[in-house]
Amino acid sequence: MKDSEFFGHVTAVAPGKVNMSLRVGPPRADGYHEVATLYLAVGLTEEVTAAPREDEAITVSLSERSAFSDVQLQDPDTGETVTAAIPVDESNLAHRAAALLRERLGHRRGVDLTITKNVPVAGGMGGGSADAAAALVACSALWEAGLSKEQLVEIGSALGADVPFAILGGAAVGQGVGDELSPLLTRGDLHLVIVPSNTGLSTPEVYRRLDAMREEAGVQAEEPALDPDLVRAVCTADAELVAALMANDLQAPAVSMIGSLEDMMDVGLVEGALQGMVSGSGPSVLFLARDAEAAGQLATRLEERTSVWAIPVSGPAPGAHLLTHRAGE
């Protein structure tokens, strides 16, 4: 690598996601759950800029353009909320992604990572995984690694189940713990409205609540499977059929932890949504609309009626990719 190449910077973006269906099986021996899910990448993206350092440090910071800089997490037992800043230390997924990539490449170059967060935090939309995906793409370009998307997916799989999908984007069926991906060939877009919550939920806590609710009800979880009609409906962007078939096994435990989610879904249906559902482990809520115009109108009505932040989006959106790559002067 030439010395001059240390003075450039690279920016990459990666999409948030929604789960148009999420079926959850029984807990496995390792504590995880088998799932069958239908991922849809949406046009709400995380942005990561990677700039080289002269030393070996990896740093993470949040840009002033971030829509989210902290998160309120709710204690599932007491109902109390605790405000926590988004970590910028070694626990941050973007930091872990850069460190892992550097280890795979066998060098010790440092990098400054600046994240612009536009995906709700702890909202079931994979924002942290999108950070990791964007960091992998940005650092791979900065360090001229020459890695293919398939190689980045393999590296990303070590960082979490949602990272490979954030790299690939589009729409895909996810199995295993969500990391065994079967990309779908789609035509046409689905239009949604995302309503972030002002309180986040811990994904492990939501899964634990699901297990407890099933045990209390005497329900034996079955091996998860997707409705093939739903898969076809997403592929053809048949919004009405998708609305009739979309489902989320984590919705009930999420609603049991934040009861206002059910009220929000009711409001969305009254205001014209085809269907409303908790996104992933929550607590963001997604509403499916008939088309782009209907999504925009729904977002406006929701904001006027409830004073929430309602974001119209569409999918499938492209996976992680470079936005800029600027060499130094």
Annotation says 149 is catalytic: no
List C-alpha distances in Å: 142 to 12, 53, 109, 131, 244.
11, 11, 10, 16, 45
Annotation says 131 is catalytic: no
Look at residue 317 and give its three-state secondary structure: coil
Quick one: which H or E segment has residue 269? helix 260-270
Quick one: which H or E segment has residue 113? strand 111-116
The alpha carbon torsion through 303, 309, 310, 313 (nearest 10 deg) reads: 150
Say which amino acid occupies 307: S
CB atoms within 10 A of CB 238: 17
Distance between alpha carbon 262 and the CA centroid of its chain, in Å?
Answer: 21
Instruction: Name the active-site residue from 131, 162, 179, 249.
Output: 162
Active site residues: 17, 162
